[in-house]
DNA sequence: GACGTTTTAGGATGTAGCCTCTCATACCGT
DNA sequence: ACGGTATGAGAGGCTACATCCTAAAACGTC
């Protein structure tokens, strides 16, 4: 509970100009970093409360406004939430994966990612994921996967259903990512899927009929389920690798067609 | 340019209680959302400047502190940067990779990532990266890599140099990631490296002598340079794979030693 | 080219207000 | 008379505003 060691990163009493730990960071930034360190050191868990504003003001030797801006940083980063009232204050929260994906997506907003870029990673990671899951997945998880597949186990009747089927195919992989015990691997895989769901080019592709993509995807995923049921990690990995290679080829072909005309990346409104 | 329409989201002069556009969002949050909308509507590009603080205060009818918190939100999201001085203010900016990495790192703050989790991804991705670079890297890039290696081409004299060498070894891979044409692959690889640089467990590991890690790493990286110079993508990939497997084994061994003393702290549940 | 001036954000301080929780008290049904 | 529910006052704590001073960056001047 000794928060005072926190303020060690910046001693106000020192006569000369003390050097901030990280250059290019202003006061609120320093404070927010210090608070993060403190959370780690104190092994604070989500739900725990930070010291109250007056205490933080005293321990850091900064003004109320600075503390508020520091907390605003942490709040924006999804690390804390503040509440008013008695017993109120800043509470540690876990950043939801969806928010992290959204923040990350804004970073790639101007980066002009191609289908190939995305599938290069998927070809490396999804087989790894499949191999890990093959030895662990039980019937309940497999049932969830099968339930997702019923959305596209038949040819689409309308272009609208076509799109829904594409999204469902991607959600199959989202489920896999959620099942992973390696949170890092799971997050990256689900992020790649979310890119494929949201990118303008991809949405354009999904709005055109593409029977081969569905048939091949369904076939691969069915084989994958079998590999899971027989706990065959090697088979799962190689099936997934073939699945990704096939999808990459088909998607890139569609990408070429779609971008040939006029629109591609220009209308990323937000 | 007419920013006044912005303030329409909240008219202070109205007698009754006006409803904020999004419930659960306090004043700075509303203001930051409004500014984002304004940026989108005005089709502002990176480099453009937002109105100055006094103007924002007037148009939104809020106080200076509120505006500052709103700008802090946008700054944390990587959308703007502020500068002082004449012609200063908040400038729209592209989210730098470093900030994206930092935001992502906070998502994994409570996820208790292990060395193994990180290296599982590195074993998949770094060979991919090496293979891509092998056919593209020229002498100038290779010179940069060699320059990084001189930091650790000799046994460390002090424990402090030991740490600097570990960081430099990681920065070798950071350079590789920067050279990639696949921004996605490059980002993920550099993010994994940044985790290894910042994680508490890793820092503990680096503060202990570990000659084998340095020697093997140096050897692998030298072979890698040769593969780059002969444009041998296959060799580069397999060398990198062996490099990662070796590093994973050594790091996990150290992890076991370092964390042994802290097992009693495991009861930090909520 | 060094130096002072100006412009603008950065930070500190004090005060009023609002939200939420708690607890005591009154009300009501049985 | 008793127990449960509702209502209100109070206090804790963040939220926001107004004002002042400080620091930094650009720009003109000597």
* Closest residue to A77, CB basis, from B94, B97, B106: B106
**A4-92: which CATH architecture?**
Orthogonal Bundle (1.10)
Measure the N-to-C terminal CA separation of chain B; round to a whole number of Å. 50
Distance B84 CA to D23 C1' (A): 9
Nearest CA in chain A to B195: A184
Task: For domain A98-260, give the CATH number.
Answer: 1.20.120.530
User: Token digits for A118?
Assistant: 């995305």
Nearest-angstrom CA–CA distance, B219 and B243: 9
Mean pLDDT throughout A38-42?
86
In which residue are the tokens 């065959």 written? A232
Question: Cβ of B24 < 7 Å from strand C?
Answer: no
Distance A116 CA to D12 C1' (A): 56
pLDDT at residue B24 in the model: 65
Any bridge partners for residue A80, and if so which? A92
* Closest residue to A72, CB basis, from B46, B73, B187: B73
Comparison of pLDDT for B16 and B107, the residue scoring more: B107
Distance A25 CA to D11 C1' (A): 38
Q: Is residue A268's pLDDT more than 50?
A: no
- B235 Cα distance to chain centroid: 29
| Nearest of A62, A174, A53 to residue A122 by alpha carbon | A174
Q: What percent of chain B has pLDDT over 90?
A: 61
Comparison of pLDDT for A102 and B147, the residue scoring more: B147
The CATH homologous superfamily to which domain B99-260 belongs is GntR ligand-binding domain-like (1.20.120.530)
- Is B270's CB within 8 Å of A94's CB? no
| pLDDT averaged over every residue in chain A | 85
Question: Cβ of A223 < 7 Å from strand D?
Answer: no
What pLDDT digit, counting tens, does each position of B199-240 carry? 888 988 998 888 999 999 999 999 999 999 999 999 999 999
Q: Which residues contact B167 (CB under 8 A, 6 or more apart)?
A: B197, B206
* Closest residue to A107, CB basis, from B78, B108, B192: B78
Name which of B80, B99, B100, B109 to mutate to probe chain A: the one with the most chain A Cβ atoms within 10 A of its Cβ: B109
* Closest residue to B188, CB basis, from A79, A111, A188: A188
Task: For domain B3-92, give the CATH number.
Answer: 1.10.10.10
pLDDT band, very low/low/confident/very high, at A8 (cuts 50, 70, 90): very low
Q: Is residue A245's pLDDT more than 90?
A: yes
Nearest CA in chain B to A84: B26
Mean pLDDT throughout A33-46?
87
Mean pLDDT throughout B41-54?
88
- Tell me the count of A-B CB pairs closer than 8 A: 127
- Is A45's CB within 8 Å of B270's CB? yes
Nearest-angstrom CA–CA distance, A88 and A82: 7
Name which of A76, A123, A191, A192 to mutate to probe chain B: the one with the most chain B Cβ atoms within 10 A of its Cβ: A76
pLDDT at residue B134 in the model: 95
Distance B49 CA to D23 C1' (A): 22
pLDDT at residue B17 in the model: 34
pLDDT at residue A177 in the model: 97
pLDDT band, very low/low/confident/very high, at A16 (cuts 50, 70, 90): very low
Distance B53 CA to D27 C1' (A): 21
List bases in chain C with any atom under 7 Å of a protein Cβ.
6-15, 17-22
* Closest residue to A121, CB basis, from B103, B110, B185: B185
Q: Is residue B20's pLDDT more than 70?
A: no
CATH 1.20.120.530 placement within chain A: 98-260
pLDDT at residue A165 in the model: 93
What torsion, rounded to 10 degrees, do the Cα atoms A176, A180, A182, A186 define?
Answer: 30
pLDDT at residue B15 in the model: 31
Comparison of pLDDT for A105 and A235, the residue scoring more: A235
Mean pLDDT throughout A238-260?
92
Phi, psi (deg, nearest 5) at residue A174: -65, -40
Q: Is residue A270's pLDDT more than 90?
A: no
Q: Is residue B21's pLDDT more than 60?
A: no
Question: Cβ of B85 < 7 Å from strand D?
Answer: yes
Comparison of pLDDT for B102 and A92, the residue scoring more: A92
Q: Is residue B129's pLDDT more than 70?
A: yes
Q: Is residue A115's pLDDT more than 80?
A: yes
Phi, psi (deg, nearest 5) at residue B47: 110, -25
Question: Cβ of B47 < 7 Å from strand C?
Answer: no
What torsion, rounded to 10 degrees, do the Cα atoms B268, B201, B100, B189 define?
Answer: -140
Mean pLDDT throughout A160-172?
93
What pLDDT digit, counting tens, does each position of B158-170 carry? 999 999 999 999 9
- Is B182's CB within 8 Å of A94's CB? no
Q: How many CB atoms lie within 10 A of CB A201?
A: 20
Q: Is residue B179's pLDDT more than 70?
A: yes
pLDDT at residue B201 in the model: 87
- Is B72's CB within 8 Å of A73's CB? yes
What pLDDT digit, counting tens, does each position of A120-149 carry? 999 999 999 999 999 999 999 999 999 999
What pLDDT digit, counting tens, does each position of A182-214 carry? 999 999 999 999 999 988 888 889 988 889 999
User: Token digits for A95?
Assistant: 């950043």
Mean pLDDT throughout A2-22?
39
Q: Is residue A24's pLDDT more than 80?
A: no
pLDDT at residue A12 in the model: 36
Q: Is residue B270's pLDDT more than 50?
A: no
Q: Is residue B260's pLDDT more than 80?
A: no
| Three-state secondary structure readout of chain A | CCCHHHHHHCCCCCCCCCCCCCCCCCHHHHHHHHHHHHHHHCCCCCCCECCCHHHHHHHHCCCHHHHHHHHHHHHHCCCEEEECCCCCEEEECCCCHHHHHHHHHHHCCCCCCCHHHHHHHHHHHHHHHHHHHHCCCCHHHHHHHHHHHHHHCCCCCCHHHHHHHHHHHHHHHHHHHHHCCCHHHHHHHHHHHHHHHHCHHHHHHHCCCCHHHHHHHHHHHHHHHHHHHCCCHHHHHHHHHHHHHHHHHHHHHHHHHHHHCCCCCCCCCC
| Three-state secondary structure readout of chain B | CCHHHHHHHCCCCCCCCCCCCCCCCCHHHHHHHHHHHHHHHCCCCCCCECCCHHHHHHHHCCCHHHHHHHHHHHHHCCCEEEECCCCCEEEECCCCHHHHHHHHHHHCCCCCCCHHHHHHHHHHHHHHHHHHHHCCCCHHHHHHHHHHHHHHCCCCCCHHHHHHHHHHHHHHHHHHHHHCCCHHHHHHHHHHHHHHHHCHHHHHHHCCCCHHHHHHHHHHHHHHHHHHHCCCHHHHHHHHHHHHHHHHHHHHHHHHHHHHCCHHHHCCCC
A185 contacts in B (CB within 8 Å)?
Answer: 117, 120-121
Question: Cβ of A68 < 7 Å from strand C?
Answer: no
pLDDT band, very low/low/confident/very high, at A262 (cuts 50, 70, 90): low
CATH 1.20.120.530 placement within chain B: 99-260
- Lowest mean per-residue pLDDT among A35-44, A211-220, A242-251: A35-44
């Amino acid at each position: 509970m000794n928060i005072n060691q926190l303020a060690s990163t910046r001693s106000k009493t020192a006569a000369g100009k003390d050097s901030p730990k990280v250059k290019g960071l202003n006061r609120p930034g320093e404070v927010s970093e210090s608070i993060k360190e403190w959370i780690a050191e104190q092994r604070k868990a989500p739900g725990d409360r930070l010291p109250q504003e007056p205490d933080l003001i005293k321990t850091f030797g900064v003004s109320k406004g600075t503390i508020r801006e520091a907390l605003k940083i942490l709040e924006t980063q999804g690390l804390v939430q503040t509440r008013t009232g008695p017993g109120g204050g800043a509470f540690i929260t876990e950043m939801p994966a969806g928010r992290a994906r959204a923040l990350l997506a804004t970073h790639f907003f101007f980066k002009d990612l191609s289908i190939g870029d995305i599938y290069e990673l998927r070809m490396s990671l999804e087989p790894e994921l499949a191999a890990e899951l093959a030895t662990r997945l039980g019937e309940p998880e497999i049932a969830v996967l099968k339930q997702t597949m019923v959305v596209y186990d038949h040819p689409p009747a309308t272009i609208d259903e076509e799109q829904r089927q594409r999204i469902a195919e991607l959600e199959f992989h989202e489920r896999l990512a959620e099942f992973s015990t390696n949170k890092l691997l799971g997050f990256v895989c689900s992020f790649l899927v979310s890119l494929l769901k949201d990118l303008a080019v991809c949405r354009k592709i999904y709005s055109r009929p593409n029977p081969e993509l569905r048939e091949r995807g369904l076939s691969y995923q069915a084989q994958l389920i079998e590999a899971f049921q027989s706990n065959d990690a090697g088979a799962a990995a190689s099936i997934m690798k073939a699945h990704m290679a096939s999808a990459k080829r088909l998607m890139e072909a569609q990408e070429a067609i779609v971008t040939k005309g006029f629109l591609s990346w220009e209308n990323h409104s937000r």
